[in-house]
Amino acid sequence: MKIVLLGPPGAGKGTQAKSISNRYSIPHISTGDIFRKNIAENTPLGIEAKKHIDKGHLVPDDLTIDIVKDRLKKEDCDKGYLLDGFPRTAMQAEALECFLNSRGEKLNTALLIDVPRGFILERMTGRRVCPACGASYHIKFNPPTIDGRCDICGTDIIQRKDDVESTVSERLDVYDKQTEPLINYYKSEGLLTIVDGTKAINVVFEEICNILGSNKNDNY
């Protein structure tokens, strides 16, 4: 199963992606996580990506596309994958389509987690993440069992530098201009499915499973 997750920053893509990846046994590929790992390791990619991420801007397309293509060629992607945070521009969507076409493959669905603007600021400024395993928490909506500690690996959770209010508004503008148009693109391709992302985390996951359920055993 090959899935693209769409939705504004803070919609719950990362949160749902972890559960979908477990349930359907497909790798969760998050470009944001890849960039953050490279930033933590101070690699050349990380140094370049950081310049853009800290300002709330997108990392350039050529760089991002190469990284994703390399990742999708790995063996664990043979039975499918879940893309979280890619594509984010028309050029990235085209590159993904070309890549799939060249291999005679296609996406099962582009799943939009639909959350209106009014919900986003509180979600993003309350987000806390685990720097070790990437798990996402929320101080109010999804706190860890032990205050300040990741449930999965016990590492101290942190606030992302780009989750402060000033950068969040820039990221939302970038989303509206560059990423939101992809919703219509996938709609016109007949691939768009939509889930109401304002409901509780477990309810959203159930609805996603209802949408994906019938695809469970195919192996595009």
Is there a binding annotation on residue 15? yes
Asked about 71 being catalytic, the answer comes back as no
Partner whose binding site includes residue 150, from Zn ion, ligand ADP, none (CB under 5 to 8 Å by kind): Zn ion
Is there a binding annotation on residue 138? no
DSSP 80-126: -EEEES---SHHHHHHHHHHHHHTT---SEEEEEE--HHHHHHHHHT
Helix (H, G, I), strand (E, B) or coil at 29: strand
129 lies in the binding site for Zn ion (CB under 5 A): no
Residues 53 and 17: their CA atoms lie apart, in Å, by 21
Q: To the nearest whole angstrom, how small is the minimum distance from the Cβ of residue 1 to ligand ADP?
A: 19
Is there a binding annotation on residue 14? yes
Binding site for ligand ADP (CB under 6 A): 7, 9-15, 31-32, 35, 52-53, 57-59, 64, 85-86, 88, 92, 123, 126-127, 136-138, 141-142, 162, 171, 197, 200-201, 204
Please name which of 180, 195, 218 lies closest in space to residue 19, comparing C-alpha atoms. Answer: 195
The residues, any chain, with a CB within 8 Å of residue 5's CB and separated by 6 or more, are: 13, 16, 17, 82, 83, 84, 85, 110, 111, 113
E strand intervals along the chain: 2-6, 28-30, 81-84, 109-114, 127-129, 136-138, 192-196
Q: Which of 13, 18, 50, 128 is catalytic?
A: 13
Asked about 127 being catalytic, the answer comes back as yes
Residues 130 and 204: their CA atoms lie apart, in Å, by 22
* Residue number with CB closer to ligand ADP (60 or 213): 60
Structure tokens at 116: 């209106």
Helix (H, G, I), strand (E, B) or coil at 20: helix
Q: To the nearest whole angstrom, how small is the minimum distance from the Cβ of residue 130 to Zn ion?
A: 3
* Residue number with CB closer to Zn ion (139 or 209): 139
Q: To the nearest whole angstrom, how small is the minimum distance from the Cβ of residue 207 to ligand ADP?
A: 11
Q: To the nearest whole angstrom, how small is the minimum distance from the Cβ of residue 33 to ligand ADP?
A: 7
Residues with active-site annotation:
13, 88, 127, 160, 171
Which chain residues interact with Zn ion by CB under 5 A? Answer: 130, 132-133, 135, 150, 152-153, 155
* Residues of each annotated binding site for AMP: 31, 36, 57-59, 85-88, 92, 160, 171
